[in-house]
Each structure stands twice: as structure tokens, then as C-alpha cells.
Structure 1
Amino acid sequence: MTTYSVRRGDTLSALAQRFNTSVSSLAKSNGISNPNLIYAGQQLRIPDGFDAPRASGGGRAASSYTVKSGDTLSGIAGRYGTSVGALATANNISNPNLIYAGQRLTIPGGGGASPTRPTPNQPPVGGVGGPKPPTGGSAGVTVQQLRAVMPNLSQATAEQYLPHLNRAMAEANITTPMRKAAFLAQLAHESGQLRYMEEIASGAAYEGRRDLGNTQPGDGVRYKGRGPIQLTGRANYRAAGQALGIDLEGNPQRAKDPDVAFRIAGWYWSSRNLNTYADAGNFREVTRRINGGYNGMADREMYYRRAQNVF
């Protein structure tokens, strides 16, 4: 029986596909009760009779691939017999450690490469979401999981938002069940289950708020709250824009667009070191650092419990 050392970003379903076996067979062979939970460095026994995966069309790989939750660029490169550099170049990826579920990748060579069997016992390598999470896991959620946390969110809206949400979670290294639960619970409360991407009030109440950087006439309305964790004030728009490489100070309306809004939420989460408190199960401190107090605590905790049941 061959063994394989789990790498960061691996999932049991992806490994089952890679070794032409089934998730249940892998789980049974390794005494895994929860097939959604494996961790980097874990030694898996591969059932006898596995073979290298083959694509349709005479063993030729497809010319494109849709990234799944848990994928890494290095894993995809190994699967299709190409290199991380070639994949990054073909898809204009500046940071090879950052890909997200739903992203469509072009495979170099127009589909001429064949997927290859991974080498057993490879050491862990970097993957989606930056530093290694403490208990394994991968960035991203499914539409079903998102709607289970936020039942008033429509299927269509969930599908529209999901690629942007997953990208943001990958950037912020929100990869473990505890981090996902805390993050989505806060988003659910702050945005009314992703219903509001812009503050309903005009923002005039923020006029002249120098603590928010609102020093020019009209800044209160111009830089009112936007996004699933509301970004408020000229200074915060400037800081988020600089971190994300987007001119939010000059174009504040972009902060409510899903492709930017979720990244802002991820930036805010990371800049306040909220993964640390989520890892510790300190949801109260997560709330304080987002809200400045504990407003709506009962509602936030309701979403948190719901998310914990999902993840």
C-alpha cells in the first residue's frame, strides 16, 4: 500500500480523484471519520490498485480548469505536468500563492499535458491563503454552506458573490472552520445576510469626523459605510485602497462592488489580527474589534452558532 503526505491545500476528494479511488475508500483506509478534515503532514495510506488519473480524449488534459476549494497552483501544475511559473504566466497571476475557488485557469500547451501521479511523501509546500493554518483546512465555502449560515440570501445572489467571497477568504487566510464561522457570522450581522453593501443613512453624520480622516467638505457622504464590514471615513478608504492596490480614496463607490467589497472585509479582518481571536474561540473580542463594542451581540452569536454547525 502506497503512502502520501498531505500538503497544505489538499482535499480528500481531490486526492481520491488524483489516485483514481474514492473518498470513502480513502477515509476507510485511514480511519477518517470526517472526510472534510485532513491536515498538512498527515500520512495517508492509498488503497492498492490506484492509478494515475487520466483526462478524457485519449488521456489528454483539458485546456482549462476551474479551481476548487483547497486547490493550490503547485498541485494543479503537478497534476497537469506543467510548472507553477507556466501556469502563472498563462493566467496573468502575479502571486502564485493566491488562487480562489471558481477561478478559471488556462492550462499551458492547449491541453497537451497529461495529469501525472503525485510523488508520495512530498514535503508540504505553500498554497492558497498564505501561512499554514493551525489545524489544516482550505479557503472557501460552497453556496450551500453560505446559505445555511445566511438562509435569507437567495441562490442567485450567493452564486454571484461566492467567487469574490472565496477570493477574499483566501487572501485573509480564513481557512479553518473556526475562522470561517467567525468571519461569516460577523458578515451576516453587519450586512443583513449580505443584503446591504452600502450604509442606508446618507453619511452626513460623519461630516467633519477628523478621527475618520474626514477633513474636506462632503467627506461624510462621500466616504460613508460600504461593504459587508462597512468601511467608513476617508482615512480608512485610503488605507484599504493602499493595501489592495485600488484607488478607493479617489473612487469610493468601488467599495460596494462585490469584487472589491469582500476583499476590503478580508483586509479589515487581517489588519485587526482577527484570525488569532477566531482560533481561540474568542468571538466576543472579534466583535469588539469590528464593532468597537458589543452592539447586536445576541444576533452575532446566533449566526456564529449556526456557522459552527455548518463547519
Structure 2
Amino acid sequence: MWFDNVDAYRHITPKRLALVMPRCPEPETWARAFDDAIERFGIENVPLLLAQVGHESADLTQLEENLSYTAERIAQVWPSRFPSAASAQPFARNPEALANSVYANRMGNREPGDGWRFRGRGAIQLTGRYNYTRFANAISDRSILQMPDQLLQPKFAALSACWFYANHVPSGADVLLATQRINGGQHGLIDRQNRYDRALTILA
């Protein structure tokens, strides 16, 4: 079929994407989305991008921030805001209320409900009105701000991931630096490194 033709793609084919991310649903759709997005934003280190995307999205199976936490977990994640499980109890298993509490007046969020409206979405999850606005401007599509769930679609999930990567990960970055720029720390570093090594072999 046409999507198995290497010549039809510039950066990643469905077969190779399925090897890089074994749990990826619909490799044909995702390969086309990422191939176009990689080209658009001039991503040079495709294996590093895909390693970060694979970890962040669990092989493109998780495109939305999970904010359904127990009170105990909320207190662990946001200890300065919730010093005890009891203080977090009103937000337990209440994702919308939690997002509107922890993301209020941050990351460009300024209107009531912005925390939930601009929660993390995409293959590298964008969070906050500021990032959504910058991305919408970058692709000249302001509908993203009115319909942010578009980032759950392969086209916009891939575009937003490549835009974020291109604007945060410098040329020549290794796995550690890319992880710090994307994650803000070193969470999942071993998995990201393993994914990068596998992607290098597959895409060589």
C-alpha cells in the first residue's frame, strides 16, 4: 500500500514508527502527522524527538493530562499547595476542580476555568494559555484557543509536539538536556535513553 512506500515519507514511515513505538495506535495516521510536522518545524534529531514523544505519551496512547488523583497523591505532587491529604480531599478524583486550582493565574491562565481549559494535551503535552497561544500563532490557527481539544487529534498533537521541541530543545542536545527542557527535570530518563537508542537503530 502507499503508506508502506519509504519514498512517500521524508522522515518516518508507518513501519518504522511502529517499531519505535510498539503500542502506537494507527501508525499510518501518526506517521503522516509526524512526517509533516517534522518537516514543518525543521526537526534535525528525529530519534531524539520520537524518544521524548514516546515517553511523554506512552507510545501515543496518552494525549491528555490525567488529573484524577487521590488526595494522598495530590499532596505528594503539589505539597506547597496541599500540605496534607485532608487539604487536598475536595479535589480528589475531581480533575476539573484540581486543574482550575493548581493552574490558576499561572502559565498565562487569567480567566476562570483556564486551568482546565488549557490543561496538558498533545504528544508532548502543552499546558497553559501562554503555550496554547504561542502554538496557535506559530501555525496561524487561532481556533486552537477556542477548541483546545484539537490537540488530541494526530495532526495537532504532532504539530504541537514538534513546535514545543523545536522551541525548547537546542540543536546538539543529548537525552539528558532534552529531558530537562521538556520535562523540567529528569523524570523517566532511563526509559527516554532506551527509547533513543532503539530509535537510532531503527532509523539509521
- Calculate the TM-score normalised by the size of structure 2: 0.76
CA contact (8 A) 1:69 1:140 kept: no
Equivalent position to 2:172, from 255, 261, 277:
277
Secondary structure, aligned partner of 2:171 = helix
Matches within 5 A, 1:36-51: none
Equivalent position to 2:63, from 189, 194, 197:
197
Superposition RMSD on alpha carbons, in Å?
2.1
Matches within 5 A, 1:53-202: 101=8, 139-154=10-25, 157-175=26-44, 179-201=45-67, 202=95
1:275 deviates by: 5.0
| Residue 238 to residue 223, structure 1, CA distance change in 2 (3 Å) | same
Establish whether residue 295 from structure 1 lines up as the match of residue 183 from structure 2: no
CA contact (8 A) 2:47 2:196 kept: yes
- Residue 256 of structure 1 corresponds to which residue in structure 2? 152
Secondary structure, aligned partner of 2:172 = helix
- Residue 91 of structure 2 corresponds to which residue in structure 1? none
Separation (CA, whole Å) in 2 of partners of 1:181 and 1:203 = 35
CA contact (8 A) 2:175 2:192 kept: no
Equivalent position to 1:240, from 124, 135, 143:
135
CA contact (8 A) 2:14 2:30 kept: no
CA contact (8 A) 1:203 1:225 kept: no
**Identity %, equivalent residues:** 33
| Residue 304 to residue 225, structure 1, CA distance change in 2 (3 Å) | same
Q: Which protein has the bigger helix share?
A: 2
Alignment gaps of 5+ in structure 1: 1-64, 71-100, 103-138
CA contact (8 A) 1:203 1:224 kept: no
Establish whether residue 223 from structure 1 lines up as the match of residue 113 from structure 2: no
Separation (CA, whole Å) in 1 of partners of 2:195 and 2:96 = 27
Separation (CA, whole Å) in 1 of partners of 2:115 and 2:105 = 10
The aligned length equals 171
Separation (CA, whole Å) in 2 of partners of 1:159 and 1:203 = 33
1:204 deviates by: 4.0
Separation (CA, whole Å) in 2 of partners of 1:255 and 1:244 = 13
Equivalent residue letter for 2:49: F
Secondary structure, aligned partner of 2:151 = helix
CA contact (8 A) 1:150 1:188 kept: yes
Q: Which protein has the bigger strand share?
A: 1
C-alpha offsets along residues 181-201 of structure 1, whole Å, 9 cap, x if unaligned? Answer: 100000000000000122232
1:255 deviates by: 1.6
Equivalent residue letter for 1:261: A
Equivalent residue letter for 1:238: T
CA contact (8 A) 1:277 1:286 kept: no
| Residue 290 to residue 220, structure 1, CA distance change in 2 (3 Å) | same
1:69 deviates by: 6.1
C-alpha offsets along residues 263-297 of structure 1, whole Å, 9 cap, x if unaligned? Answer: 1111111112x25034xxx2110110000111111
Equivalent residue letter for 2:163: W
Secondary structure, aligned partner of 1:300 = helix
CA contact (8 A) 1:174 1:275 kept: no
Establish whether residue 308 from structure 1 lines up as the match of residue 174 from structure 2: no
CA contact (8 A) 2:43 2:166 kept: no
